């Protein structure tokens, strides 16, 4: 265990990535948009990964940092590339980091900066890599997501700052350990 109580990574390089969770609400009066208490339904933008790492899973928008790019710049760029929406850097809120340790495949290791945003411009559009879709925040598609998502994505939905360390099983899909610490 590291001094912060999180598991020690298995070693090797951890590729920096940035993820962005966009939130908005169906407008009042839109068909199917009103919850049982007659309020607009808050929703989150996720996407079905069509190519690359995570193909076939429902994921947050995001990806690797380009040389010289900050995590916030990468998050905004990835949202535009994957969903056609523009997010300004000042509209991003940093929530924390997730470290994914793949002991059986260290080349998969990642450390992700997690951002949220509630303001964006543009028209939602699928890309070659992701088919984006809005989901009600209280009905996320857990069965289609990576197993570890259930341990930290609820904190994203709540806007709770956190740090997570995920160690995957040898099958590179199941979770061996998930240690999540909130920052408040």
Q: Give the pLDDT confidence score for residue 145 in this predicted structure.
A: 97
Q: What is the mean pLDDT of each run of 10 residues along the chain (184 residues)?
A: 48 88 75 56 94 94 96 98 96 97 94 97 95 93 96 97 96 94 84
Chain centre to alpha carbon of residue 9: 20
pLDDT at 1: 40
Determine the pLDDT at residue 38: 57
CA 33 to each of CA 25, 26, 43: distance values in angstroms, whole numbers, following the listed order: 8, 5, 10
Exposure string for 52-82, b = 16+ CB within 10 A, e = fewer: eeeeebbbbbbbebeeeeebbebbbbbbbeb
pTM: 0.88
Q: Which residues contact 24 (CB under 8 A, 6 or more apart)?
A: 42, 43, 45, 118, 120, 134
Domains of the chain: 15-25+40-182 (3.90.79.10)
Instruction: Quote the pLDDT of residue 2.
Output: 45
What are 156's two structure tokens? Answer: 């994203």
């Amino acid at each position: 265990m590291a001094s912060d109580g999180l598991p020690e990574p298995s070693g090797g390089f951890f590729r920096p990535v940035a993820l962005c969770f966009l939130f908005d609400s169906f407008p009042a009066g839109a068909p199917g948009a009103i919850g049982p208490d007659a309020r607009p339904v808050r929703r989150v933008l996720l996407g079905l990964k069509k190519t690359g790492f995570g193909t076939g899973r429902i994921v947050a928008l995001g990806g690797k940092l380009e040389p010289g790019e900050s995590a916030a710049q990468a998050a905004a760029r990835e949202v535009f590339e994957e969903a056609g929406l523009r997010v300004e850097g000042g509209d991003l809120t940093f929530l924390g980091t997730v470290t994914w340790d793949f002991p059986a495949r260290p080349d998969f290791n990642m450390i992700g900066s997690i951002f949220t945003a509630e303001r964006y411009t543009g028209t939602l559009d699928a890309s070659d890599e992701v088919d984006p879709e809005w989901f009600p925040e209280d009905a996320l598609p857990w069965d289609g997501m990576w197993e570890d998502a259930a341990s930290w994505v609820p904190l994203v939905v709540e806007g709770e700052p956190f740090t997570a360390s995920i160690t995957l099983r040898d099958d590179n899909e199941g979770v061996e350990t998930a240690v999540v610490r909130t920052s408040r």
